[in-house]
Structure 1
Amino acid sequence: MALYNVMEEVVHEVLIRYKDQLHLTCQCEHCMNDIMAIALNELPPRYIVNKDYVPYVRAAHVADRQGATNIILIVTKAAAFVSKSPRCPTMNPATLKSTE
């Protein structure tokens, strides 16, 4: 049985939509994944077993204005946290040595 967390898709879409307004210090894949991981750990998952239901779950989040605002707020906080101290080799060469 394959499970799918629709919230991953929602958070990714919010991050991509607002990344210019978030003033990220780095937009590399590592930093973007860090932001998503932090945000997803703060949000309740929305698991489904049939990807045909993704639009219904996503529509529920779009219709829930408070929920949509909460997701944006959590992504914004995660982005600020990662931007203050990015762990990627691009922004922090010291991490390159520790991962080699």
Structure 2
Amino acid sequence: MEDVVRDTLLTYKKSMNLACSCDRCLDDIMALALNDLPPSYVVNNAYSPYVRAQHQADRQGATNIITIIAKSAAKVSGSPRCEAYAQTKQHN
């Protein structure tokens, strides 16, 4: 599920109007989103593409993932905890 969330976040991050898109903020968004999604574990990486395909084929599931990522992005953008954003605010 982590790979699915990462790929989805990277695909849609420009359209989410993030306050900051540094690695720390993206990791925070991913962590929040993964906490709200059901886990999907794979012990053999050879099966990882099947998990990804399953989520891409399921339109409602894909929409749910995007919605959860967007909510997580809004929360992180509302209160970024990274140094990059803090430095930007100091210069304004």
Runs of at least 5 residues in structure 2 that lack an aligned partner in the other structure: 88-92
Higher relative contact order (CA 8 A, sep 6+): 2
The whole-number CA distance in structure 1 between the counterparts of 2:9 and 2:16 is 9
Q: Secondary structure at the match of 2:24?
A: helix
Q: 1:17 aligns with which of 3, 11, 21?
A: 11
Q: Give every structure 1 segment of 4 or more consecutive aligned residues whose post-TM-superposition deviation is greater than 3 Å.
A: none
Question: Do residues 60 (structure 1) and 54 (structure 2) align?
Answer: yes
User: How many equivalent residue pairs?
Assistant: 87
- Residues 51-91 of structure 1: per-residue CA shift (max 9 Å, x gap): 00011111111111000000000000000000011000111
TM-score by length of 2: 0.91
Structure 2 counterpart of 1:85: 79
* Counterpart mapping for 1:32-51 below 5 A: 32-51=26-45
Q: Give percent identity, aligned residues only.
A: 59
The whole-number CA distance in structure 1 between the counterparts of 2:10 and 2:50 is 21
The whole-number CA distance in structure 1 between the counterparts of 2:69 and 2:78 is 14
RMSD: 0.8
TM-score by length of 1: 0.84
Q: Secondary structure at the match of 2:84?
A: coil
TM-superposed CA distance for 1:19, in Å, is 0.5
Runs of at least 5 residues in structure 1 that lack an aligned partner in the other structure: 1-6, 94-100
AA aligned opposite 1:8: E
The whole-number CA distance in structure 2 between the counterparts of 1:14 and 1:90 is 23
The whole-number CA distance in structure 1 between the counterparts of 2:76 and 2:34 is 14
